[in-house]
Amino acid sequence: MARLAINQATKIINNGANEKKVLLDHLQLTVNEGEFVTVLGGNGAGKSTLFNIISGSLALSSGEVVLDDTDITRYSEEKRARYLARVFQDPKMGTAPRMTVAENLLLAQFRGQKRAFRLRNLQKQRDHFYAMCAKIGNGLENHLDTPTGDLSGGQRQALSLLMATIRRPDVLLLDEHTAALDPKTSKQLMHLTNKKVQEDKLTCLMITHRMEDALRYGNRLIVLQKGKIVQDFSEEEKRKLTMVDLLSFFEDTYPA
């Protein structure tokens, strides 16, 4: 069943006097429920634009975004937050630095809901938050009262992932969420990510520049060039791809 459909999505911006730049060019994409889609493409291919269009932080010039048969094209970013969650490349973007780990998790539980004065009841949630963080394996459970700004990059990004999935989103967007981390921490976070996606049967799209992650994770792979999807590999087709195949997709983007 189709969970997300991007129909003829086009985004054009003014790029100087009488100049226009096409960021997305009648892009067509359907993502079925439970699919884990890896998104590849060079700089300027349209990857971040696609995610911004889905999340609502950027408006389409034409086309539509459909979620579970509901046209959400004109929904605000705040309204879409009821259904969509996103983890960014920068660990600082997904968390509130002056709030503690427990406070950030509590805030995430109310993502997309109407704001109102209410009792926090934070103490009642501590055992739940402790158990949740303990599953990560990086000591985050010992920092429930630590301001998030004092965490390591890996811990902060793991917290961002927990916050994005604490209320099961209809679609999870992973925007190069391991790019700012060292190789060891990146590997640990990808293992956690894959575990969360598989256990919760999430519908997920992940932008990555790490070719090894593109090969290892996900059951579908798409390649963007100049605002269009130029390759779309099924799970079976993806298994046959090699690192050389992936690198070849960038040769047309950056000719010698």
Phi-psi region of 201 (alpha: psi -120 to 50; beta: other; left: phi over 0): left
CA pair distance 223, 138, nearest whole angstrom? 33
- Give pLDDT tens digits for 36-75: 999 999 888 999 999 999 999 999 999 999 999 999 999 9
pTM of the model: 0.90
The full set of domain ranges for the chain reads 95-168
User: What are the CA-CA distances from residue 13 to residues 29, 59, 133, 227 (Å)?
Assistant: 21, 11, 42, 13
pLDDT category of residue 23 using cuts at 50, 70 and 90: very high
CA pair distance 250, 246, nearest whole angstrom? 8
Structure tokens given for 76: 């605000």
Per-residue pLDDT, 119: 45
More confident residue, 114 or 152: 152
CB 148, CB 176: distance < 8 Å: no
CA pair distance 87, 242, nearest whole angstrom? 27
Has residue 154 got a pLDDT over 50?
Answer: yes
Per-residue pLDDT, 19: 83
- Give pLDDT tens digits for 221-234: 999 999 999 999 99
CA pair distance 82, 112, nearest whole angstrom? 4
Has residue 112 got a pLDDT over 80?
Answer: no
CA pair distance 163, 74, nearest whole angstrom? 25
Structure tokens given for 134: 């303990």
CA pair distance 5, 35, nearest whole angstrom? 13
